Amino acid sequence: MSTARHTSNAELLDPPRSCPDLDVRDLEKRTRLMRIVTRLIAVSDLGCRDIARRAGLPAQKISDLLAGRLEHLSLDELRLVYHTIDPEGALNY
């Protein structure tokens, strides 16, 4: 007797997962914005610590961003970093 059948039935009965970090649209927005911000950081004259200080974020957040640890930053934090580097930038996120 296979247990695979019981597992598949259990998955159908589980409630849908509703974690905001798993929202696909949010993740896509954060990913796009992360790419933009990391490029801005690369061409900026500002250092990571200076960017973090100006944005009012811990320096570790900027390090996480540059290391691709997107799950450590919210969309609002990414927007804040973007506007810190490029205050006149026209961001549509």
Q: What is the pLDDT of residues 26-63, one digit of tens each?
A: 889 999 999 999 999 999 888 999 999 999 999 999 99
Q: pLDDT above 70 covers what percent of the chain?
A: 72
In-domain check, residue 91: no
Cα dihedral 4, 7, 12, 16 in deg (nearest 10): -130
72: containing domain? 24-85
Number of domains in the chain: 1
Calculate the alpha carbon distances from 90 to 68, 82, 86, 87 in Å: 23, 10, 9, 9
Calculate the alpha carbon distances from 34 to 2, 6, 9, 13, 41 in Å: 45, 41, 39, 36, 10
Q: What interhelical angle do 24-43 and 75-85 show, nearest 10?
A: 20
Give the CATH number of the domain where residue 58 resides.
1.10.260.40
In-domain check, residue 90: no
65/83 Cα distance (integer angstroms) = 15
